Amino acid sequence: MSGLEDLPPLRDTLAAHDLLAKKSFGQHFLLDLNITRKIARLAEVGPGDRVIEVGPGPGGLTRALLETGAVVTAVEMDPRFEPLLNELAAAADGRLSLVIADALTVDETILAQGGPAAIVSNLPYNVGTPLLIKWLTGAFTPTSMTLMFQKEVAERIVAPPGSDAYGRLAVIAQACAEVRLVMDAPARAFTPPPKVDSAVVRLKPRADRPAPALLTALQTVTQAAFGQRRKMLRSSLKVLGGEALCVVAGLAPDVRAETIGVEGFLALASALIARRGD
């Protein structure tokens, strides 16, 4: 039986299956195993660890994850890749299972068979942010996430208060997880190359992740505050309580959203819950 080391180069595998990238599925492939192995290292997964990989496509990242000894459940929406990925599964000693489905609607708890799992993905650009929000705020909490995004989205996830990229995504991501930009990937690393550069973000969910009600309130206050980011909080949050809400949260009503840290937004979210409970 052939093992992972006997597999042909990814380009040959794609050609043998006559597969071309489809734009509608956000397909930009990593065919250089040096790059996919680096991502697998950054994911810090090892023998026996369960990994959910979204969008395996031709399987370059999947191969690198399998090489670490991890047990991989791969969720791919494009059924054209099924035969190719089945060949990879045959070379992986039963450590790769494939699910043909939309990652936005799958239940990760079932994929992880009720146990812990890390999520690793070179994400399709069109659904990267909604998938991240699902994994940060949904019922299933991954042990870690190692995710390739468009560089601009990666920067918005890790942005500190006061920076141009700071906004809703930074607040929600940083309230739920420790976040780090761990690798840059120029557009030329992909086949076909996208129009923009990419970057890998590693997210480690916090043990004290906000409870669902607080997260919902956090989404409400950040939407209002950053919807009018140049206005003072007293006016951008007017419909939610304006100045009174700021006072309860211990924030000055004349500051702007972009200067408030995650703790400040969590205080505003708690104040909103208290106000609605009155």
The residue among 54 and 240 lying less far from ligand SAM, judged by its C-beta, is 54
Minimum Å gap between C-beta 227 and ligand SAM is 27
Nearer to ligand SAM, 119 or 262 (CB): 119
State in angstroms the smallest separation of the CB of 190 from ligand SAM.
7
Rank residues 137 and 198 by Cβ distance to ligand SAM and give the closer one. 198
At a CB cut-off of 8 Å and minimum separation 6, what does 210 contact?
175, 176, 218, 266, 269
134 or 275: CB nearest ligand SAM: 134
Structure tokens at 97: 């299972």
Nearest in space to 61 (alpha carbons), one of 85, 93, 26: 85
Is 26 or 210 the residue whose CB approaches ligand SAM more closely?
26
Check: CB of residue 44 under 8 Å from CB of residue 144.
yes
Which residues would be at the binding site for ligand SAM (CB under 6 A)?
25-30, 54-58, 60-61, 75-78, 102-104, 122, 124, 127
Please name the residue that has the structure tokens 């004349």: 254
| Closer Cβ to ligand SAM, 95 or 234, answer by number | 95
Nearest distance from C-beta of residue 156 to ligand SAM, angstroms: 18
Query: Smallest distance, Å, CB 182 to ligand SAM?
Result: 16
Could you tell me the smallest distance in angstroms from the CB atom of residue 65 to ligand SAM? 10
Closest-CA residue to 122 (of 39, 186, 64, 66): 39
Q: Which residue type does 152 have?
A: E
Strands 71-76, 96-100: pairing is parallel
Which residue's beta carbon is nearest to the bound ligand SAM? Answer: 55
How far apart CA 35 and CA 63 sit, in angstroms, is 12
Nearest in space to 61 (alpha carbons), one of 41, 37, 83: 37
Cβ at position 121, least distance to ligand SAM in Å = 7
Q: What are the residues facing 99 on neighbouring strands?
A: 75
